[in-house]
Structures are given as structure tokens and as C-alpha cells.
Structure 1
Amino acid sequence: MPVDNFTVKRVVVDKVLAPKPYDLLADQLRESILLGDIAEGEVLPPERELVEQTGLTRGSVREALKQLASEGLLRTKPGRFGGNTVTLPGRDVVTNSLSQFVRGRRMSLRELNETREVLEPAMARLAAEYRSDGELSRIKAAHQELIDSAADFHRFSRANITWHRAVAHASGNELLSAVLEAISYGVAVSTTVDRYDDEATRRQVIRVHGKITEAIDDRDGDAAERLMSHHLGATHARATDAEITDVPLSEDDTNE
């Protein structure tokens, strides 16, 4: 309304949303753990002591600890001599989260195949450059299993996944390896569609896997990358663009 030729505006201020106390405590502890201020293996003070130190309720302290445990930053041992031991996230944390994302979003084979085509040739190159003798032995053993299982479609599929994981592990890059493991269900689907269930195709896979294995053995990164890229392109040309849940394959088949 006008007052002495001036217009008075009503000022509106949004509500101030204060973070919950347990979120603040979880943030503080998380940052200290990730920065290394609280070392892996160290045991946090008992809940009672954390309540005294922070001034928070016991419920808030427990909720903060529960959050960190769900993130893989704490390992909780109940009982009189138990406690909350600091842990660092393992590869399984990344793998499980990505795997749930892939399956929950019903990712198409096209998306999974595109991801593999980007990652696996690079991992084959890295494997050729950085593999240890032990890792090379595991790759060769997985390839031998492919040869031995050529007549058994599902056994062959599991051996195929094992070989790809062995190459990924030999790359020495934990993050890339975790991503590949997370989409292993897609790898299984890509190689378990009807068009792939063909003896001649399996012989071809054995042949190209053998060449990639030789390139890794020879530490020939160029050849390993080129052969893997060609192999994935040929494999994915046979796969349909269905969603991964459309294929009747048990997820357990990807975990052996």
C-alpha cells in the first residue's frame, strides 16, 4: 500500500532447513575417515562417549554410525567387547552399487555393450603392460577352461566371464575392474543369447581369446587392444538389443 508516495513491499523469506544432527556427525566422521585422520582399523569411541563428546542424543549418534556402516566405512561388532571399526570402501561397494544401477534401470544390451567397447580394449592394453606372472597364469587358466568347456554352452559362458575378469584384474586398475565386474551380468547376457549358442562361434571366441592372451603374454599392448576391440564388435553384433532382464539367465551364473 502507498505510504507517503512510497510502496511498502512485503519481504518473504524461505524457511531455513537445518541439517539433521546425525547427518552433521556422519559428515564429520566420513570426512575424517576419507582424509585419513581416522585410520583404517581404528575403533571409534563407544556410543556413550560419542554422546558426551558431541552433545547429541544417543539416537542421533546411532543413526550417524548406521549411515557410515551402510557406506562401508564402519564394521560394527555387537556385544560387550564389540565396537565400530573404521574400514575403507572396497571394490565390492562400487561393484554392488553399479550392478544395482544396471539392473534397476533395466539397461539395454546396447548400453552395456557400448560400455564394454569403451573399457575392455583399454584394459587389455593395460593388462599387456602391467600384468604379473600370476595374473598371466590366471588368464591362461581361464582360456584353457574355455577350450575344455567348448561343448557345454553354459559352462563356456561362465568360463568366458572368468577370462574377461582375469584380463580386467591384470590391468592393475581397480576402478576399471570394478566397473567391468558390475556389468558382468550384461557380459553373460551378451554371450548367452541364442545367436551366440553356436559351436562355430565358440571356436571363434576361443581362437581370438587365445590371440589376446598371447598378446598379453608378449606385453604387446597395441595388439591386445586391437584384438579385444575387434572381438567385442563381433560379439555384440550377435546380441539383441533387449533389456538384460529379458534374458532367462540366473545372476548366479555371473558370480562363479
Structure 2
Amino acid sequence: MPFERIQQEKLSHGVVRQIESLILRGILRPGERLPPERELSERMGVSRPSLREALADLQDRGLLMTKAGAGVYVADVLGSAFAPALVTLFASHDEAVFDYISFRRDMEGLAAERAARLGSDTDLKVIDAVFMKMETAHQKRNPAEEARLDADFHLSIIEASHNIIMLHMMRSMYELLREGVFYNRQVMFRQRTTRDTLLDQHRAINTALQARDPAGARAAIAAHLNYVETSLFDQQKSDQNEFFAQKRFEHVAGR
């Protein structure tokens, strides 16, 4: 776990700042369980009373939460990014999907450019590791796992850009993507979108990042999301055409 020993006069303040930083940097994620009290106090080099004081402060401010008999967890601070009523609107209006893709194209293109230029070697290793998991899931023909890793891959690029505001904003949006609010990979597959094509596009993104090619990384992101946009638009048009074709058939058949 990414905890360090605290060395300062008011130890509880140091604990608070360290946990705040881990949450802010996205290292501790919403819903993640903290280690048991004894283990955490030993890792951070503080007494259990000091630790309890810090955890109580963080809970009072809504950053941590306690589950009875289960321990202390990072609060789902991302849940407030979109009100439930707005999420319902997103899911029921097609224009939200295309605006979402456009927004992602702009934000992720910038993030990929920054990651290629400013990301550390370890950041790039994380991105590459997620992509290798995508390749493994692809070989196993596990669409659900591929979809989850797809979101993880894109989020790892955001993390590598080291822009804290973008990280938390985009993480909340990816939660909606995972839930199928904006679109589902299965819809794209109906439009002859192949799993191989999507994997190749992610490979191109990863290759540009590993080569530290900012322009190439941004272009690869744009090419991928342009493809997603076109596939979804084509499927939307196909569904509309089928609706009217059914009406025409019913009329001709005298139904």
C-alpha cells in the first residue's frame, strides 16, 4: 500500500495530508478499503489515537466512510459529479452520446499529448500493462473484461497526464461509460465493428505513448474516437432505417 511514515509534530495532521494527497492523486480510489487500523498505524509510524483522530477528521469532511464491521473506505466522492436526473437524461438522449465522444476526443487528446511528454517511465509502464491485459482478454474472447479494461486503459492515460482536475472529472465520466450510460461496445459490434479493429486502435495509442510521441498519441486518440463516433452514428441510422422498413413492410403486407 502507498503509505509512508509520518515525521512531524502533529502526527494526525500529517496522516490527514497524506491520505488527502493519495485521494487527490487518484491513488486511493472511491470504494477502496483502507488497511486495518493496526496495520495502517504501523505503516505510517503513528499511534492509533493519532490515526483515529485523522480518520475521524477525514470522515467528517466526507472523504472517508465507515462500513459497520467492514472497516474504513474511501467515500464515493465522484458520485456527486452528475445528479441522477442528469444521468437519466444522458441515457435517453442520443445527442448526449455524441457530445460525450466529442468531449472525450478533446480531453483525451490533450491528456495523451501531456502523458507522452510529461508522464514518467512508470506511468508509461502502467499504460502498457493495462494494454497487455486487454490483449489477454481479447484472446479469451471475454467482451465484458475487454470493456472494463478499455475504460481502464483510457483512464491510465488521464492519470499519466498528471492533471488532477482532469483526472477526477474524467474518472466520474468513465464510471458512466462502464455502466453503459453513454454507449455499449455491443452496439458498435452490430455495425460490423470488430474487436480486432478496436484492439488495433488501442495498440496504436499505446505505441505512440511508449515512443513519447505527443502528436502521434493525440492523433491516435482522435482516430479511435472518430471511429467510435462513426460506428455509433451508422448504427443509429441503421436502426432508424429498420424502423421505417418495418412500417413499410406492414403496409405492403396489409397488416
1:184–1:124 distance in 2 versus 1, CA, 3 Å: same
In structure 2, give the amino acid aligned to 1:234: Y
Q: Which has the higher contact order (CA 8 A, sep 6+)?
A: 1
Q: Is the 8 A contact 1:136 1:217 kept in 2?
A: yes
In the alignment, the residues of structure 1 paired with residue 79 and residue 219 of structure 2 have an alpha-carbon distance, to the nearest angstrom, of: 30
* 1:167 alignment partner in structure 2: 157
In the alignment, the residues of structure 1 paired with residue 104 and residue 231 of structure 2 have an alpha-carbon distance, to the nearest angstrom, of: 15
In the alignment, the residues of structure 2 paired with residue 95 and residue 86 of structure 1 have an alpha-carbon distance, to the nearest angstrom, of: 16
Q: How far off is 1:196 after superposition?
A: 3.0
* 2:104 alignment partner in structure 1: 116
1:237–1:131 distance in 2 versus 1, CA, 3 Å: same
In the alignment, the residues of structure 1 paired with residue 195 and residue 118 of structure 2 have an alpha-carbon distance, to the nearest angstrom, of: 28
CA deviation map 1:90-131 (0-9, x unaligned): 797763222446525435312322221221111111111111
Q: Does 1:155 align with 2:139?
A: no
CA deviation map 1:26-72 (0-9, x unaligned): xxxxxxxxxxxxx7767xxxxxxxxxxxxxxxxxxxxxxxxxxxxxx
* 1:103 alignment partner in structure 2: 87
1:165–1:117 distance in 2 versus 1, CA, 3 Å: same
In structure 1, give the amino acid aligned to 2:81: L
Q: How far off is 1:203 after superposition?
A: 0.9
RMSD: 3.3
Q: Secondary structure at the match of 2:87?
A: helix
Unaligned runs of 5+ in 2: 1-12, 17-48, 64-73, 237-255
Q: How far off is 1:207 after superposition?
A: 1.2
Identity of aligned residues (%): 16
Runs ≥4 in structure 1, deviation > 4 angstroms?
Answer: 39-42, 81-84, 86-94, 197-200
Between Structure 1 and Structure 2, whose CA radius of gyration is higher? 1
Q: Is the 8 A contact 2:188 2:228 kept in 1?
A: no
Give the 5 Å matches for 1:200-239.
201-239=194-232
In structure 1, give the amino acid aligned to 2:211: D
* 1:50 alignment partner in structure 2: none
Equivalent of 1:177 in 142, 149, 167: 167
For normalisation by structure 2, the TM-score amounts to: 0.55
* 1:136 alignment partner in structure 2: 124
In structure 2, give the amino acid aligned to 1:169: E
Q: How far off is 1:132 after superposition?
A: 1.5
Q: Secondary structure at the match of 1:85?
A: helix
Q: Which stretch of the first structure deviates more once superposed, 167-176 or 111-120?
A: 111-120
In the alignment, the residues of structure 1 paired with residue 190 and residue 75 of structure 2 have an alpha-carbon distance, to the nearest angstrom, of: 31
